[in-house]
Chain A
Amino acid sequence: MTVIDMKNDMMTIEDFEERAMAYGADLDAWPEEDRAPARTLLAGSAVARRAMDDARALDEALALWDGPAPSQALMSRVLTDAATVAGEAPVAASAPALRTGAGWLARVFGNRPMLRPGLALAACLALGFVMGTTLEEQVMVPVDTGMSVDAGMIDFAFALEDDADLLLGPGSLL
């Protein structure tokens, strides 16, 4: 054994008592580097053995306190939370569809960048058609025409709003 080895193996009784108090009587729970010198001290010191008896008594007292097992009700609550959070995720993930533009058109015609100018043109034509037909109705039926125009515009606005809600999810309303 070298001098360095002998130094590493040394442990004062105060150090031993401190470790025993901190880590208890199970040497496997002590820091690895302290185990061998602790065994050496235990073999030759009555004081060390008394310190170990003290630590063991405390370990045994602590062992009286078992933790409770989770109830099925708690398990269910936790798993319900997980399902709720998982259910929120796809809605949030779909939000970028609107940010890329024409989300509802993309859902109808497919999300193909090459077709986007065409889709935009189609949307303009459709909007023009709706406006043209409702204005025509207004001209043809002069009495109470305001109602028919307003109703048409409101329906159109709701259609857009519904679409936006679907794409953005509840968080978009905040």
Chain B
Amino acid sequence: MRFMMLMYPAIDTDAKNWEPSAEDVAAMTAYNEELTKAGVLLSLDGLRPPADGARVSFSGRAPTVTDGPFAEAKEVVGGYWLIQASSKEEAVEWASRCPGADGDFIEVRRVFEMEDFPEDVQEAGQLSERPPEQT
């Protein structure tokens, strides 16, 4: 099974500058290496602050676009890891080993597999026979 570990760092979400210290990066790199060595890491990314981002919200017909930062946002995703684990407990154990700072939290979520869906949804999920080109 696959799990996504979503990191919610406890930092000022309005801040323009999300750059972590060299020390924090070293600790996080060691953690990422540990996941790699264990053969469980599938992919990961860190996200730039919401101040650089935008929100596209849907209600009614036309989507509304709001540029960041978002005043009301308390919890903001700062990055993610996609890992393979044999149980939710194992994914939680990996998340627990992250060198998180005070107030950070990681949400552990299992990735949907096609088999999780009823048949009609599976059918709808395979309308295209021709995937986009990859490099």
A and B part of one assembly: no
Chain B positions within 8 Å of A, measured between CB atoms, are none
